[in-house]
Amino acid sequence: MPRDELRDLDGAAGTPLAGTAAPAAPQTQPFWVARATGSGEQSVRRKVRNGEWRAVVMAADGTPGVDADLSVGATVPDLDRLSGGLLVGGGILLLVGGTLIYLGARRLGPTTS
């Protein structure tokens, strides 16, 4: 069965690929790492693993004409602690830098003889 292959998620049109065999029902295939089926909005979650991964969007019966709006997201554990630490570290560097500028400027002041 003909299909389109999309290599980047930059909104470009897919590359048409030829084919004549009708695929088996996708939900019966054992090779999927994660899957979602049904009508309406679907969502799939999985942990990040090394390797090359692909997302496949197709009608359950293999018919053409599927319209999909895909997005990818990620969460970073302990991001709030990391950002808080960076803010505190930046504040300390700001205070140290301000103090050094003040002390350096005070020494450059007018001298009395």
Exposure pattern of 78-88 as b/e (b: 16+ CB <10 Å)? Answer: eeeeeeeeeee
- 101 confidence band (pLDDT: 50, 70, 90): very high
What is the percent of the chain where pLDDT is above 70?
74
Average pLDDT over residues 77-83: 90
Q: 29-73 pLDDT, tens per residue?
A: 788 888 888 778 888 888 878 888 777 787 777 777 778 787 888
The pTM of the full predicted model, rounded to 2 decimals, is 0.45
